[in-house]
Each structure stands twice: as C-alpha cells, then as structure tokens.
C-alpha cells in the first residue's frame, strides 16, 4: 500500500491481476477494472471502463446503447466485495462474498459507452459474516446510480 494522503484515503496498487486474484468473476461478468484507493475500514473507490465492445450493448438498446442498471449494481457489489476482502483479511481464505439483498436502488443518469464509471462503496455495517454497504456510481461529478445492499461471507460451495 501507498502512503496515506492525509485525508484517510490510501491509494492502492490494485490492478487487474490483483482483482482477478481477489474476485472469482471472469469475463464477461468481471465489472471492476482497477481499484484507485480506499479509506481503511470505511470505503473504496474503483473504476469500470465502459467500452462499446461490451456484449450487453448489442441489445441494450440498439441505437441508444446504455449499461443495464443491474450491471451497474453488480459492478458496485464487486467493488464492495474487494473492500470486504481487504478489510476482513479474506484473501486466500477460500471465502466468497455473496449478494443477499439490494435496497433503495436509484438510477439517475444513463451510462453510455466510452466513459469511466467511478464506483464508490462503503460499509454501513460490518460483521464477520454479513456486511451492509452503500454504493454510488459516478460519471465524473454526476451521480449515475446509488444503492444499499447486503452481502454474506461464506465458504465456496464444495
């Protein structure tokens, strides 16, 4: 990890290789490209580069491609999974972070190809087996989506 910037935000050297080692997701379901940094114990900032080459743009919607809201929420959940893995020291433990609930999802602006989608997530409640998170997907300074969600920490299926 890098030095604290004085705001509590710690830049992370968390590239795609480290993301692949942390999350079980693979193409086409891996929706986090880089982790920018985190405030330990609180929040994480990640990025998804939204490309026209994403398969969902072929059908959602022809002539006006936008990223499906459910995939924006999934990207936020993956970023929260990385936060949980880092904060709860789950790397290499064989544990997975499973979605349990989505609450208060609101979509404010369409996410179109060619943008960097900033994924901001943080803890609402943190326990050993169940965590609640908030998430905001941003397009620069513009809010694209916001959601609260719950995840459980469990062993991988046998």
Does the annotation mark 45 as catalytic?
Answer: no
Rounded CA-CA distance 73/136 in Å is 9
The whole-angstrom separation of Cα 82 and Cα 88 is: 10
Cα–Cα nearest to 132, from 152, 146, 156: 152
- Count the Cβ atoms, other than its own, within 10 Å of residue 116: 14
The whole-angstrom separation of Cα 23 and Cα 2 is 22
Question: Among residues 25, 45, 60, 120, which one is catalytic?
Answer: 60
Task: Name the token pair of 49.
Answer: 């580069």
Return the structure tokens found at 77. 């959940």
Residues assigned a catalytic role: 60
């Amino acid at each position: 990890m890098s030095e604290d910037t004085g705001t509590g935000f710690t830049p992370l050297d968390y590239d795609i290789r480290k993301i692949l080692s942390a999350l079980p997701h693979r193409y086409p379901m891996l929706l986090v490209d880089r982790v920018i940094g985190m405030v330990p114990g609180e929040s994480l900032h990640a990025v998804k580069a939204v490309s026209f080459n994403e398969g969902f743009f072929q059908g959602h919607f022809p002539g006006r491609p936008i990223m499906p809201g459910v995939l924006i929420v999934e990207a936020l959940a993956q970023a929260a999974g990385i936060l949980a893995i880092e904060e709860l020291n789950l790397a290499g433990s064989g544990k997975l972070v499973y979605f349990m609930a989505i609450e208060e999802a609101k979509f404010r602006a369409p996410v179109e190809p060619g943008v960097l989608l900033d994924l901001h997530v943080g803890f609402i409640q943190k326990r050993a087996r169940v965590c609640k998170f908030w998430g905001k997907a941003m397009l620069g300074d513009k809010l694209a989506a916001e959601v609260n969600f719950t995840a459980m920490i469990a062993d991988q299926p046998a």
